[in-house]
Amino acid sequence: MDKLRLRSAIEATRASIPEAERHAASVRTRENLLEQPWVQMAGLVACYWSAGTEPATHGLVFALWKHGATVILPVLRDDDDLDWAVYDGPDTLAPGRFGIMEPVDVRRGVDAIRTAALVIVPALAVDRTTGVRLGRGGGSYDRALARVGPNVPTVALLHEGELLEDVPADPHDLPVRYVAQSNGITDLVTGRV
């Protein structure tokens, strides 16, 4: 299946999940992540503010921030690359270019993600074997992931059924190390859940 059809199929499936079920799954995913020592020890976390039917990150961002992590969120630039700014509570966000909430803090530049100890990214699907994620097609997160150090944990948040055996990939598509879902965290290098 090509990327366009796979995106459409996943988005249709996500839209069919009742909101209460999506919320409950997002809470379990958040708790699974917050239990991980490598999440608890991360001083600077790059995350994203979820929108629509994505696994919700609002509670995760707030929890990381309340537990003392500095959380940076993306600010979409006109060239579709991601700038980064610090989240300093829910009152420090404003709608961005596509209506997605972004921090109003000073922009830290596209390279700010290089200093993150943990990177959490959105995905529609992830390939179980290669770790390559299927995004929305703009390439913003592939450019961001290219700036992340090799030993920094990278995590894609998915709904159940979105960790797939085969995700179409292009040469610029970059892998993530972990997938977080409501049923646990999967390490794509070791295969352990």
Residues 13-44 pLDDT 10s: 999 999 999 999 999 999 999 999 999 999 99
When pLDDT is averaged across residues 65-91 and rounded to a whole number, the result is: 95
**Tokens standing for residue 81:** 């690359």
Model pLDDT, residue 193:
66
Tokens in use for 120? 């959490």
CA 189 from centroid of its chain's CA atoms: 18
CA pair distance 128, 92, nearest whole angstrom: 36
For the chain, give the mean pLDDT. 94
Matching residue, tokens 């999440």: 39
pTM for this predicted structure: 0.94
Query: CB–CB of 176/141 below 8 Å?
Result: no
Share of the chain above pLDDT 90, in %: 88
